[in-house]
Structure 1
Amino acid sequence: MLSVRLIGQPRLVRDGLTLQGPRGAKCWALLARIVRSPDLISRQQLVNELFSEADDPMAALRWSLAELRRRLGMPEALLGNPIVAGLEDGTELDVELVAGGNLPTPVPRGEFLEGIDVQASPAFDTWLLVERQRVAGDVIGALRKEALRAMSAHDHPRALTLASAMVDTAPLEEGPHVLLVKAFIAAGDRISAHRHVAATEAAFMRELGAPPSPALSAAARPPVTPNTAGVSSIATAESLLTAGRAAVGAGAAGSGIATLRGAVAAAEGAGDSLLSATCLFELGSALVHAARGYDDEGAIVLDAAREAATSAGEQEIAAKALAELAYVDVLAARRECAVEGLSLAWEVANPYPRVRAAVAAYDAVHLADWGRLDASLERFDEAIDLCRETGSVKRGIWAMSHAARAAYLSGWLAAAERWAKEAQRQAQSEGWTAIRPWPEAWHAHVRLAKGEAPAAVRADIESSYALARQLEDPCWEGVTAKVMGLTFVAEGDTAAAMPWLEHAGTACRRINDSYKWLEAEVQVTDAEVALKVGDGERARAHAELALQVAARGDMPLLLARAETVLDALRGKVPQPA
């Protein structure tokens, strides 16, 4: 069997032996361009993208195609106009495997077409930038899913291999490092865990100028089992569970999580699988929802909760854990993992309507991020109905807040305003202050779109921004800062708008587990405003950032907006040195 490896250094492998590859980087670029395109590509388009500088562009394309056929050993491949890939049955493409959530052997390391740097057209350069992000997203998603499974199965060598491959693929992303440290701790190798934390902190300071979040060093701390003389482990775990829940509910996330960690350790020592599953779920949920920057550790804990609950026959806890795991993937824009996780959570939650309400709400957000707005709005209707039927008031407020965003993006301003207002009204009635900035921000978007006075909108959204700062919530802060900027844009005062948009982008990236859709949305908005005022350098920088995030997270609407900015800049402003 022939295996075509396009992740990492490109190579051809047949039956475990590496074959001589095609001559020239452009051959690899050409093969990747053909096999990764969802549509057939004409010879003229390939010439325009890759061979326009050759003395005889069509001859250069024909030679490259012939060279590929020779090295692949497939005389009937890569023929026609438009060109049909026509690879023989059984040919393995690593990029296709990871796109489907599977991993080739050995596991992939490095970026798509690593080391391939061709002098080509701006169109090909943009395509390669986008594809590298898409493939990296697929690789990280597949590796992460399998690493969590390996850790649940206590297969420590495989977990370490997969986590280290994640680090190789995304060395400057914190999440892979957290998983690798947790894998070291699970394997009992505390020395390697602490060494990796130190090395990562040094690398982040050197490359990024800022250290990783406290989540990385926290991952290296083993759980401490509380010990109260004369008190059973079960009683200890139950009391700590109660105290931890209360602290998290009161907003004391740090102390609450520390207490829940103790509850988990005590429950594991008690040998009570139901109690252990409950403690694990509460800790995992708190790490995801109450803490900032701890989604990766939260996912590990939630997966352990799912396993413990399944073993104990507690399907409701398992369903809740699956729902929260899917939500983590939604936030991180791991699209295929989210699809798989949401589908499984929906199935397992069938007997539990309250859990289904949460899954439906998460799915609706996922569909909106994915650019499938009509399907998203239908799913929001279902989620909000489920919340109403089951008395899930806070979940309903959360769903309406996000439905307002989806309706706004669809251009349905009346529906967006109705949902935003109702979410605000119910949040006030429930005394749920922490949710306020999100619906208020999208209500402000609607008001600006309807032509309300920007100064009046700004006067109202200022308190939302101040609350977001007090809550130390980077998403809430980012979206409210963005609206503040847009009020100045609406007044034509771009000098006042740009610092707000810059601050919005900084806030969204402040933690490693930020909401990727919002990060891309803020970046592309900044780029569009900069383009409008003629700041080409700023427009390009922010459009390229948005392009990378949107490509990796499969966000077609945001990707199209970023590409539109870059297309407008081509040939109109000097290329950066």
Structure 2
Amino acid sequence: MTGHNGLCIRLLGEVEVLRDGAGAAPLPASRKTRALLGYLAATDRPHRREHLCDLLWDGPDDPRAELRWSLSKIRQVLHGAGGGYLQADREHVAFQPGAAEVDLLKLRQLLSPGVSATSTAALREAVSLFRGEFLDGLDLPSCYRFHEWCLAEREAASALRLAALGGLVERLQEEAPEEALAHARALVVADPLAEAGHAAIVRLLTHLGRRRCALEHHDHARRMLENELAAPPSGD
């Protein structure tokens, strides 16, 4: 996934910045700097410098100096691909994606009509964007404002993923049951307590003539849900 100018920022998993012909750009070692990059790219709007300082450097040190240092490191990563992606003045900082592509923004765009109105091809593309959790490893519990924002965005992205996977299972279960089964398994991996995902796996395995596997998964799901929820699956 790259924009036509060769820059792609991936936030659905560990943060990555990709350039055509050069692969992944080396990122700053500072987790706060990488978190700032993710925040600016995900929110896609200008922010006051004071807000960014409070978000990540609310402490006894010099937060404005920390912010300036982090922005200088982000510029080195982004501007190496050409283009002025980071816009900053004395008061505000903003990421300007231009022709660059940000996977989270792409996900929102693909699913903006709602799952029922989104094409099957777009649903496939949406689920393919995920390599892991949003900003994997960068939730920064010590920065409570950023932490709360990150968890909320992570939950929202996960909900979009589950909705897209569920939509694919429903659409493909008759015409492409093997692909539907793969999406049902991905749904259960993403949400092990999703009864609908387990039910879809059992149903699809049965449809494919793999009754023994269907029974084994049913028994596994029943035991797991009983242990986790103190109740058997609702279908029993």
Going from structure 1 to structure 2, the CA distance change for 1:39 and 1:15 (only over 3 Å counts) comes to closer
What is residue 145 of structure 1 aligned with on the other side? 167
> In the TM superposition, what are the counterparts of 1:166-181 in structure 2 within 5 Å?
166-181=187-202
8 Å CA contact 1:107–1:162 kept in 2: the answer is no
What is residue 233 of structure 2 aligned with on the other side? 213
Q: Does residue 72 of structure 2 align to residue 66 of structure 1? A: yes
Going from structure 1 to structure 2, the CA distance change for 1:198 and 1:48 (only over 3 Å counts) comes to same
Q: TM-score w.r.t. structure 2 length? A: 0.74
> In the TM superposition, what are the counterparts of 1:288-327 in structure 2 within 5 Å?
none
Offset from partner CA, 1:314-370 (integer Å, 9 cap, x none): xxxxxxxxxxxxxxxxxxxxxxxxxxxxxxxxxxxxxxxxxxxxxxxxxxxxxxxxx
* SS of residue paired to 2:71: helix
What is residue 158 of structure 2 aligned with on the other side? 136
What is residue 94 of structure 2 aligned with on the other side? 84
Going from structure 1 to structure 2, the CA distance change for 1:53 and 1:210 (only over 3 Å counts) comes to same
Runs of 4+ in 1 over 6 A off after TM superposition: none
Q: CA RMSD in A?
A: 2.9
Larger of the two Rg values belongs to structure: 1
* SS of residue paired to 1:79: strand
1:104 to partner: Cα distance: 4.3
Distance 2:34 2:136 in 1: 11
Offset from partner CA, 1:158-209 (integer Å, 9 cap, x none): 2233222222322233233333333333333333333333333343344x34
1:85 to partner: Cα distance: 1.0
Letter in 2 for 1:95: L
> In the TM superposition, what are the counterparts of 1:241-252 in structure 2 within 5 Å?
none
1:127 to partner: Cα distance: 1.4
Q: Does residue 219 of structure 2 align to residue 198 of structure 1? A: yes
Going from structure 1 to structure 2, the CA distance change for 1:188 and 1:111 (only over 3 Å counts) comes to farther
Going from structure 1 to structure 2, the CA distance change for 1:107 and 1:175 (only over 3 Å counts) comes to farther
Letter in 2 for 1:42: R
Distance 1:164 1:21 in 2: 33
What is residue 51 of structure 2 aligned with on the other side? 45
1:54 to partner: Cα distance: 6.5
Q: TM-score w.r.t. structure 1 length? A: 0.33
* SS of residue paired to 2:9: strand
Distance 1:156 1:53 in 2: 54
1:48 to partner: Cα distance: 0.2
More helix by share: 1
What is residue 163 of structure 1 aligned with on the other side? 184
Distance 2:45 2:98 in 1: 19
> In the TM superposition, what are the counterparts of 1:31-430 in structure 2 within 5 Å?
31-37=37-43, 39-53=45-59, 55-72=61-78, 73-74=80-81, 76-80=84-88, 81-89=91-99, 91-99=100-108, 100-101=110-111, 102=122, 103-104=125-126, 106-108=128-130, 110-152=132-174, 154-206=175-227, 208-215=228-235
Q: Does residue 12 of structure 2 align to residue 7 of structure 1? A: yes
Distance 2:150 2:198 in 1: 26
Unmatched tracts of structure 1, length 5 or more: 218-577
> In the TM superposition, what are the counterparts of 1:513-552 in structure 2 within 5 Å?
none
Unmatched tracts of structure 2, length 5 or more: 112-121
Percent identity between the two aligned chains:
29
Letter in 2 for 1:97: K
Distance 2:74 2:210 in 1: 46
Distance 2:29 2:218 in 1: 41
More strand by share: 2
Q: How many residues align?
A: 213
